[in-house]
Structure 1
């Protein structure tokens, strides 16, 4: 067997391991059970793919989504790894089973629902198993944000075969990590936490104020691939339609679409270098697309864990990417109603804690990244220099008096009216509706001046985020548990007033055409990928093309030293890529 560092170069084209990859791989090679918590883009799949090639037998990879399996099989095969999947979509399932039984597979991907069946267990008895890899392992935990009950049935299978087990996730707080270790039978000393920081992602959190215009500006600033997460199926359709009207290639993605349409939209996005998808939250977990340049949330995510997981789908290639969260007070009102009406009582306290943590994140005037990292148990610097609050520090103002006036007005109008009406009463608007309700005679009528009225909506948004004020489905209000302390003056209310960035200022995305040589190689890659019927990133990542554009190698041996070019890719694309490099000397092709 070739040494691991040689296999690393020959198969994946890398000269060295990254981060904790080597530590994880060596544990697997020593048959030691491991839970690896590694940020998206840190190379989790390599941690089981490399041992799968090095060890005798087949590695069984348990993965939650068919699209994710298909994407990883495609990428593994591109590197010369013998990989296949057994899914409900597999037309070649008989051939796959024969190859597995004959020892001709390095990797076999299955969903947990199949892995826990008796039939699959009998199939595994007929071949040698080198290891079990449980991908997206946060799905094992009832405390995780994508809980899948079938994941909790895996333990008997793992115990029966006794092969080393490797669980991997990008998103797990301390409680979730402990639950994963327990559910999968991994000792505490098998936990490896690589850290959660994604320094290439810039975080922005802003109130929704004309969402279509906000998304239009974002899409215009970032011509590369992007995902807009929407809270409803209908909104995905509306957002995609508006983006197309603006001349942007865009499509919706949600469970209500016809299966063939949904698959076609995902396939088009995976293959594109500029497409936008408006999707419900499941989208993105099933793809391994490295060049997503921005993620936008059109509404509140479910939790900080979910937010981290979803934003982590941007910039997997390590190039600059952005995450935007557009939120409104109604998001918190809706989320709190869902907790009280849909979540079983035993889980409600934990869900409330998650929502309160998210409220603190969106309301913060301090570094966004520091809040995220502290949530996952890290001790980051106070400032990251790459989030909205660090780049444009907001001015914090005390609005306790305004908050008290809003709460008092809500109480004195019997909680039957929304914020817009309260603003009329507080501002002394002597209109027909106010007079008809007799609210012109209330002590709170006209107690706010014009300056205070400017803050009614942002303060009300803050009160709802803090669960001091709640909105119902009929436009009415009620007090939450945080109201009493504010009314009594025991709890101050401060809000951040972010300054406007200078007009025209924006971050230059790494995918914008600034290097003619790189753009010419992207054109070459686009043609090669189309001919091969694979997404461009399966041929080479942008980082590899940038290195080639800078180096301009003139031989296969020189080309083989570039990170991301292994034996199979050198054999398959090397000569053609050298021709493209040579053509650069005669003037790069235009986009």
Structure 2
């Protein structure tokens, strides 16, 4: 049923959370819930799902129940809410009876807005929680990590099925189900298993434009990992391994290299797991090496990288795990080490399932995960297409897109490798082929293959070169695998045609990597370091994770604009009145001292200019706000769950309205050049103009240059 609101959602967002505008579908979702509508939200990690039920909890009065699978998530969110001035609590088995009684009495007195619980608590014990809930004013039920209700999801939890009984008991209370990842089968299950009543769906873009996706061969993975971590010396990150043994080995190796690292897996005691997790959350330890049991619900915004030492079982799991990086919107890395052996191991595990239908579905998902790893197309496009979303062919922010245009002539070594496979009757795997190619002294190989003309012709190059080349030829479609238990390599029709035609093998080879930690923001690095140290001290004093005090992107803004008073501080994204009162004096004191010592002047943060009231104008003004904060087109599109084309249209209109300087996008000479060609053209279409200039100007640049000359 519709709820009576006690305040304005926009005011709540600014005063309690410190943000001046909603992102993407957030406002529409809050309106849906306010009307008493059952609602399902699919939104990527870091997209702001929790705000969609936390703001209604403040607006409605009464109690909002949040069902979550993990204690860690409950504690993190409760800490953050209380720090923001919103009374919240959780109930779980780690609390004493007296603690639980105190919390329930606070709820009965109306002093708690949000209560976090695990689903099994609803019906557990002599006096199950569902009986207590009947005695209070329950206004809203939020089901977080809703994919856990589906056996087709990547993290099925049978206890989530009990939530359907809660729905029947509270048939007039609106439910909101939220997840960061779900394919079509899982989406259908969420609505059915939770018993939702004609739910309204909100599906945001799955694009995490700030994450750089990379897949590389697993060979020499530790050397590659250490090189990768060298780019992230100051950063927090998660490294996933397939087994407990691999977790321990990897953590021990990294610790021996002097890195700040701890392990996490089910074989450790609960006390050690909780301690290690807390040290990671509070930035006392930089790197967590873990099985996939770690991470769900970890609301740590400053994770800068996620590494998979093994191929995940499915795209959903991979997407959610990599999504734990860059929740604050800053550039982050996702690195995956791939080997065919991992795919075979995971396939054998599925074969042990007694449920053939389930096994078949999961095998299909595993095949798509393997195809993702071996694909030569844009990684981001593959991920978005998997979730039913269209995407450009080139994102410019993944390994395959980095390699495009970086083609190298690999004709001779490719011919040598393919010829060796052919001479071996296509009966062996890559490792064996390379041994023959390099002239192995093994008695077995010499006896069987020394007479072949290809024996030893590749001995002047290292084993790693030939294996890299073999994997690249597979990605490019020249080689295919046959067999499952012991896969062998076969030349494809494409390879035979290429060999016969004597065309060159031009292959995309990896270019020198750049770190995703570098940001385009012109912030003061020294001040940022001092702000982080202050945040760490305040977090220790309040016994909360550092990001609960302020997120990294908030500190970056402070180190960019040097606010000198509370009014200026309140213009910083992520600073609301509650936090300004709690922490403002400390941060302003540090900023003013640093600015004085380094002779820095405060920079006025641009505020949105007044514009005619209307949906289009309001939307464009929000785009303007993000633009003035230094975000590019793709970052704005991500933040607003819109397409880059829509954002380009906003910017073109803002140029036309003289709210953005045209010279931010084009020089005066370029503008004159485009306008002269447009006038000579004699019609208003952009396509002929684009064909005239080719790649010299983008469609967006043409639109902006002609903003005053074209209608519509």
TM range (shorter): 0.7 to 0.9
Contact 1:36/1:191 (CA < 8 Å) preserved in 2? yes
Matched position secondary structure for 1:450: coil
Give the Å deviation of 1:175.
2.2
Give the Å deviation of 1:146.
0.7
Partners in 1 of 2:277 and 2:450 — Cα distance? 59
Give the Å deviation of 1:550.
2.9
Gaps of 5+ in 1: none
State the match for 1:550 in structure 2: 560
Cα RMSD of the aligned pairs, angstroms, is 3.3
In the TM superposition, 1:554-573 aligns within 5 A as 554-573=564-583
Do structure 1's residue 125 and structure 2's residue 131 form an aligned pair? no
Matched position secondary structure for 1:374: helix
Do structure 1's residue 450 and structure 2's residue 442 form an aligned pair? no
The correspondence for 1:250, drawn from 255, 261, 268, is 261
Contact 2:217/2:338 (CA < 8 Å) preserved in 1? yes
Out of 448-457 and 353-362, give the one that drifted further. Answer: 448-457
Q: Note closer, same or farther for the CA distance 1:144–1:524 as it changes in structure 2 (3 Å cut).
A: same
The correspondence for 1:4, drawn from 9, 14, 25, is 9
Give the Å deviation of 1:216.
0.8
- Count how many residue pairs are aligned between Structure 1 and Structure 2: 572
Contact 2:523/2:559 (CA < 8 Å) preserved in 1? no
Higher RCO structure, 1 or 2 (CA under 8 Å, sep 6+): 1
Partners in 2 of 1:134 and 1:403 — Cα distance? 54
Q: Note closer, same or farther for the CA distance 1:125–1:96 as it changes in structure 2 (3 Å cut).
A: same
Do structure 1's residue 144 and structure 2's residue 153 form an aligned pair? yes
Give the Å deviation of 1:306.
0.6
Matched position secondary structure for 2:57: helix
State the match for 1:47 in structure 2: 52
Partners in 2 of 1:141 and 1:258 — Cα distance? 29
Partners in 2 of 1:385 and 1:422 — Cα distance? 34
State the match for 1:16 in structure 2: 21
Do structure 1's residue 111 and structure 2's residue 118 form an aligned pair? yes
Deviation per CA, 1:544-588, whole angstroms, max 9, x where unpaired? 222223333333233233221223212211222221222123327
The correspondence for 2:106, drawn from 99, 113, 118, is 99
Matched position secondary structure for 1:336: helix
Contact 1:364/1:496 (CA < 8 Å) preserved in 2? no
State the match for 2:662 in structure 1: none
Partners in 2 of 1:258 and 1:509 — Cα distance? 38
Q: Note closer, same or farther for the CA distance 1:431–1:577 as it changes in structure 2 (3 Å cut).
A: closer
State the match for 2:86 in structure 1: 81
Matched position secondary structure for 2:153: coil
Q: Note closer, same or farther for the CA distance 1:296–1:488 as it changes in structure 2 (3 Å cut).
A: closer
Give the Å deviation of 1:40.
0.7
Contact 1:363/1:462 (CA < 8 Å) preserved in 2? no
Partners in 2 of 1:467 and 1:136 — Cα distance? 38
Give the Å deviation of 1:339.
1.5
Partners in 1 of 2:191 and 2:14 — Cα distance? 32
Matched position secondary structure for 1:284: coil
State the match for 1:58 in structure 2: 63
Give the Å deviation of 1:457.
7.2
Matched position secondary structure for 1:87: coil
Matched position secondary structure for 1:390: helix
Give the Å deviation of 1:11.
1.1
Partners in 2 of 1:315 and 1:468 — Cα distance? 36
Q: Note closer, same or farther for the CA distance 1:457–1:204 as it changes in structure 2 (3 Å cut).
A: closer
Give the Å deviation of 1:59.
0.7
Out of 569-578 and 313-322, give the one that drifted further. Answer: 569-578
Give the Å deviation of 1:173.
1.7
Q: Note closer, same or farther for the CA distance 1:462–1:76 as it changes in structure 2 (3 Å cut).
A: farther
Partners in 2 of 1:456 and 1:580 — Cα distance? 54
Partners in 2 of 1:395 and 1:553 — Cα distance? 48
Q: Note closer, same or farther for the CA distance 1:115–1:376 as it changes in structure 2 (3 Å cut).
A: same
Partners in 2 of 1:298 and 1:403 — Cα distance? 29
Matched position secondary structure for 1:293: strand
Contact 1:517/1:588 (CA < 8 Å) preserved in 2? no
Out of 26-35 and 150-159, give the one that drifted further. Answer: 150-159
Give the Å deviation of 1:468.
3.7
Which has the larger Rg? 2
Deviation per CA, 1:111-132, whole angstroms, max 9, x where unpaired? 1111244712111111011111
Do structure 1's residue 26 and structure 2's residue 31 form an aligned pair? yes
Contact 1:406/1:456 (CA < 8 Å) preserved in 2? no
Out of 100-109 and 26-35, give the one that drifted further. Answer: 100-109
Q: Note closer, same or farther for the CA distance 1:433–1:291 as it changes in structure 2 (3 Å cut).
A: same
Partners in 2 of 1:406 and 1:488 — Cα distance? 12
Contact 2:39/2:201 (CA < 8 Å) preserved in 1? yes
The correspondence for 2:398, drawn from 368, 387, 404, is 387
State the match for 2:625 in structure 1: none
Give the Å deviation of 1:463.
7.2
Q: Note closer, same or farther for the CA distance 1:379–1:430 as it changes in structure 2 (3 Å cut).
A: same
TM-score (structure 2 length as normaliser): 0.74
State the match for 1:523 in structure 2: 533
Contact 1:300/1:325 (CA < 8 Å) preserved in 2? yes
Deviation per CA, 1:307-341, whole angstroms, max 9, x where unpaired? 10000000000011010001112111101111212
Give the Å deviation of 1:426.
7.1
Contact 1:196/1:373 (CA < 8 Å) preserved in 2? yes
The correspondence for 2:342, drawn from 314, 320, 331, is 331
Matched position secondary structure for 1:354: helix
Partners in 2 of 1:273 and 1:232 — Cα distance? 25
Contact 2:416/2:454 (CA < 8 Å) preserved in 1? no
Contact 1:11/1:566 (CA < 8 Å) preserved in 2? yes
Q: Note closer, same or farther for the CA distance 1:467–1:50 as it changes in structure 2 (3 Å cut).
A: farther
Contact 2:420/2:454 (CA < 8 Å) preserved in 1? no
Q: Note closer, same or farther for the CA distance 1:434–1:548 as it changes in structure 2 (3 Å cut).
A: closer
Partners in 2 of 1:519 and 1:587 — Cα distance? 15
Matched position secondary structure for 2:597: coil
TM-score (structure 1 length as normaliser): 0.88
Q: Note closer, same or farther for the CA distance 1:73–1:214 as it changes in structure 2 (3 Å cut).
A: same
In the TM superposition, 1:349-428 aligns within 5 A as 349-393=360-404, 395=407, 406=421, 409=424, 420-421=431-432, 423-424=434-435
Q: Note closer, same or farther for the CA distance 1:493–1:307 as it changes in structure 2 (3 Å cut).
A: farther
Deviation per CA, 1:237-268, whole angstroms, max 9, x where unpaired? 22222222222111111111122221111111
Matched position secondary structure for 1:252: strand
Give the Å deviation of 1:428.
7.0
Partners in 2 of 1:514 and 1:244 — Cα distance? 31
Do structure 1's residue 193 and structure 2's residue 200 form an aligned pair? no
Do structure 1's residue 229 and structure 2's residue 237 form an aligned pair? no
The correspondence for 2:319, drawn from 308, 331, 335, is 308
Partners in 2 of 1:426 and 1:506 — Cα distance? 36
Matched position secondary structure for 2:251: helix
Give the Å deviation of 1:56.
2.5
Gaps of 5+ in 2: 1-5, 499-504, 600-712
Give the Å deviation of 1:77.
0.9
Contact 1:409/1:426 (CA < 8 Å) preserved in 2? no
State the match for 2:223 in structure 1: 213
The correspondence for 2:595, drawn from 582, 585, 588, is 585
Partners in 2 of 1:496 and 1:45 — Cα distance? 48
Give the Å deviation of 1:76.
1.0
Contact 2:399/2:510 (CA < 8 Å) preserved in 1? no
Out of 24-33 and 89-98, give the one that drifted further. Answer: 89-98
